[in-house]
Chain A
Amino acid sequence: MEVIKIIGVAFIALIIVIIIKQHRPEFAIYVSIIAGAIILFLVLDKLTGIINLIQNLANKSNINSQYLGLLLKITGIAFLSEFAVSICQDAGEGAIATKVEIGSKIIIIAISIPIISRLLEVIINILPN
């Protein structure tokens, strides 16, 4: 049922963007940003359900919750930066889009440093020295 709402919002925004693009191209970008935000809001509550399920499963199988927190952080960063990158590309500004992408990748790597170091320790312990 939600899909129909999402598709409806997308088509309405598409028509509005086409109408406005001829006269005032600046407003077309605003309409696409707001349409993206509305569609994301439609699915955000389902996303919280998924995340709670993942956390419950992780707690049951006693995975270290610190790593799960990091994983969630990384997906959140990817989620937001993808939102910005697609809007910048849509507006024709590929350079800005790649800069945002590079920045978010660097932040993700910076955040995942503890995981990487922990992994290297485990590998080193396994290796016969």
Chain B
Amino acid sequence: MDISLLFRIAAIGILVAVLYQVLVRAGREDQAMMTTLAGLIIVLTMVIKEISTLFNTVRTIFNL
């Protein structure tokens, strides 16, 4: 739960954006869409892991 996670997500986002442009210029729109979706899913798994730890901590604190 530290700041490096933020930078990791930013790096993946920028990488996917660049890859998208490169693939679109190369005329492969479908593969560009695939890489964007893949990047989204990777970041989604990371975000879900962090959110689940946050929700579990809050649940234990407020004994929900």
Q: Which of B16, B57, B59, B64 contacts A24 (CB 8 A)?
A: B16
Q: Which of A30, A40, A41 contacts B9 (CB 8 A)?
A: A30
The answer to whether B63 and A34 touch across the interface, beta carbons within 8 angstroms, is no
> Which residue of chain B has the shortest Cβ distance to A78 in the bound complex?
B62
Tally of A-B residue pairs with Cβ under 8 A?
A: 90
The answer to whether B61 and A80 touch across the interface, beta carbons within 8 angstroms, is no
Interface majority SS (helix, strand, loop, mixed), chain A: helix
Question: Closest Cβ of chain A: how far from B59's Cβ, in Å?
Answer: 7
Q: 7 A-B Cβ contacts within 8 A?
A: A16-B6, A20-B14, A24-B36, A27-B9, A27-B39, A38-B2, A44-B61
CB contacts (< 8 Å) of B14 on chain A: these are 19-20, 23
